[in-house]
Amino acid sequence: MMRRLITFLAACIPAAALAAEPAPLPSYTLDECLAIGLEQATRIVNARRDERIAGAQVRQTKAQIYPQLDTDAAYTRKDEVTSFQMGDQTLEMGQLDNYSASASLSQVLYSGGKVAAAIRAARRATEYAAQGTDQARRALIRDIRLAFYNILLAQANVEVAAESVKQLEELAAQTEQKFRSGTASEFDLLSAQVRVANERPKLVRARDALAVSKESFRDLIYLEAPDFELRGELAYEPMEADLGALQEQGLATRPDVRQMETYLRLLGEDIKSARGDYYPEIKAVAAYSGTDPDQSGFGATGWGWHWTAGLTAHWSIMDGGLRSGVLLEKNLTLLKERSNYEDLKRGVRLEVKQAYLDMIAAREVLGGADEGVALAEKALEIARTRFEQGLSTYLEFTDANLALNTARLTRLTALKAHLGAVTSLRYACGATEDFEPKEPMP
């Protein structure tokens, strides 16, 4: 019995140990993060809703050119019927139960161009909303890329800081052994311990910065996982182009520039619609109605049906300056937005130039960082050789190794800056994004 119990416990312990192991964190590539963000981010969802709203507004405006059909029906119960005496007879006027029904049809024939301008404006609003969706999509892709690169750099910073702490702890432990054996001074021991104490806060800050970056990234793409890992690397992405050509490309293709142009055309249609108020509005109207009792003659009973048809014209001759005031306001608004449009184009040129200069600067810094890594690797090799031959202390070797880690982190920082500048430049010049989500992410 005891042997069976021992066998059972031996079989259960590994299973329990496996069950106690934490589940691996979900891991995402850049493309997966882009797919999640483009599917779930609020700014994209609302941009698509704006498109649907604009489509509904087009339908509402188009309704003005179609005939309008209205129907009415009523029932009235009287407390008594009016009557009067005529000789020996009592004549009643009407009846206690009264019914009526009618249908009216109207069609706008002329409105001074107001309806046509309103329809064109509604279509412009649809274009405006679609361009807004494109703008939101491009901005989100840019923000996700930049945040993704920031997290990769933060992860590298944590790794470098952890490696530095580990090496300094090993140095402090080795120095303590030497101190106990009498081959190292108390000053050497204190110096090693101080270096460890000074390095640990850097690791804490690096981990905190990584946690903050990941939390911000979760909010950016609406990621449900409480914690996650990112798969990717900071790699050099070459981009060669002429600054002037990039600026012209930005003015020609950026969604916010095209959206502003659409908005100016929309304001122009709005002015045409306002001018239509100076002209008469003519409608064709027709009605078909019936009452029970028939109201067409004295003493009539049963339903009586009648129709009417004609034209109506409405023309506001004097409105105290209301129309002129409205038209003046709309013209001034158009002038103001034209000035904003010119400011936008200047801003686009400046944004492209700034991103271009940042890319050039990051490229130059990256070249120096590559050289720094090569020199640090050579210095570490020399320090290793000297330490193995007994010509230097472990502290010298550790310092050389830490210098190499720092040089590599500096290179990664330069790579991140270059990738960020390329991403910002592609956004600023309106370059077509090559990313398309293949299917919605869960």
pLDDT, tens digit (0-9, with 9 covering 90-100), for 378-428: 887 887 787 667 676 667 777 787 888 888 888 888 999 999 999 999 999
Cross-strand bridge partners of residue 101: 73, 290
Interacting residues of 234 by C-beta distance below 8 A, sequence separation 6+: 149, 152, 153, 156, 412, 415, 416, 419
Separation CA 70–CA 88 (nearest Å): 46
Residue at 73: amino acid letter: A
Interacting residues of 366 by C-beta distance below 8 A, sequence separation 6+: 236, 411, 414, 415, 417, 418
pLDDT of residue 425: 92
pLDDT of residue 210: 92
Separation CA 99–CA 290 (nearest Å): 8
* Torsion over CA: 358, 364, 365, 367 (sign): positive
Residue with tokens 């210095």: 379
| For residue 293, cis peptide bond before it (omega within 30 degrees of 0) | yes
pLDDT of residue 394: 66
Cα–chain center distance at 352: 21
Q: Where are the beta strands (DSSP E) in 219-328?
A: 229-230, 281-292, 304-314
Is 242 within 8 Å of 356 (Cβ atoms)? no
For residue 299, the 8-state DSSP code is T
- pLDDT, tens digit, for every residue of 21-74? 567 888 899 999 999 988 888 888 888 888 888 888 888 877 888 889 999 999
Angle, CA 374 vertex, CA 369 and CA 375 arms, to 5°: 95
Cβ neighbours around 204 below 10 Å, total: 11
Cα–chain center distance at 42: 6
Residue with tokens 């882009």: 34
What's the chain's Rg over C-alpha atoms?
40
User: What 3-state DSSP class applies to 237?
Assistant: coil
pLDDT of residue 390: 67
Query: Six-digit token pair at 90?
Result: 């009592």
CA atoms within 13 A on the CB side of 127: 16
Pick out the chain residues at pLDDT < 50: 1-2, 4-6, 8-9, 13-20, 435-442
Burial code of 104-127, b = ≥16 C-beta within 10 A, e = fewer?
eeeebeebbebbbbbbbbbbbbbb
For residue 89, the 8-state DSSP code is E
Helix (H) and strand (E) counts in the chain: 9, 8
Angle between helices 186-221 and 30-40 (to 10 degrees): 40
Is 257 within 8 Å of 53 (Cβ atoms)? no
Query: Six-digit token pair at 421?
Result: 């500048």
Q: What are phi and psi of 69, to 5 degrees?
A: -115, 125
Is 128 within 8 Å of 54 (Cβ atoms)? yes
Residue at 124: amino acid letter: R
